[in-house]
Structure 1
């Protein structure tokens, strides 16, 4: 059954190779969580090279750089860029948490069913046993601090509300 596309849902049907969201912010949707983080240009290309979490020192440098980009986007009233930076901070947390819990980075046993690729969740698969990696856990905590700062930033909150009122109403 196809899901109905709402004005608030992230639109995966766009041709992401051709859309410049800086020039066409009206096409962007905040969506949920990290949706679109590796699709929305030119922001993906601007932020992704700085996204790293292998060690706490690398995670600290990465999260600080991404947060500074977040602040630059806000200062330029570029909400889409700020939201993408927020998503990269969130993804820094979630991915390093996954590696903190599962050395391979794989949370579930077995392949993802073809009709579920690109979706989150177990889809009937068993979760692999946890092997805690304290280094990755520290990296996750570093990203969590910056992600929380981004979500709670009053300029971000104001721009998000204005963006949603203008484009997602």
Structure 2
């Protein structure tokens, strides 16, 4: 029997996630970077509405709300939720920093070549990025997160 979390359909650009990862945490793959943030349920539906990086104030509200969710997932020993919260914090940092370095957030020019980053094209987005970075770092340094990640990896071997 094939794993539904990794099957591809004819029109898909990525894996199919017909899985409730809270009900079936063993199906969750940690993945690279921010992989899965817009697909892994129920976490996408819980975290995406909280996520904003428009300015420092909205970033502070978003990062705090996402971190609070992280703490709930940690209390529930819900590693996929913990990891997805980490990914949303990381994504807040990376997206805001892109706007901080590139006017309009456009890293590539119309010809497809990478533009030179500016220092700082948008100071407000840089401030937002730094807020997310602080919370993202808290998760990465959390011993409970590291232990849960290791247990999850071992269960999937």
Give the TM-score of the pair, scaled to structure 1.
0.81
Q: How does 1:50-129 map to 2 (within 5 A)?
A: 50-110=50-110, 125-129=112-116
Equivalent in the alignment of 1:34: 34
The count of corresponding residues between Structure 1 and Structure 2 is: 145
Query: Residues 103 and 12 of structure 1: is their aligned pair in 2 closer, same or farther, counting only changes over 3 Å?
Result: farther
1:92 and 1:39 map into 2 onto residues whose CA distance is 17
Question: Displacement, 1:12?
Answer: 7.2
8 Å Cα contact 1:11/1:29 also seen in 2: no
Query: Residues 145 and 127 of structure 1: is their aligned pair in 2 closer, same or farther, counting only changes over 3 Å?
Result: same
Question: Displacement, 1:27?
Answer: 1.4
Which structure 1 residue ranges, 5 or more long, are not aligned? 1-9, 112-124
Runs of 4 or more off by more than 4 Å in structure 1? none
Which structure 2 residue ranges, 5 or more long, are not aligned? 9-14
Equivalent in the alignment of 2:16: 15
8 Å Cα contact 1:60/1:139 also seen in 2: yes
Give the TM-score of the pair, scaled to structure 2.
0.86
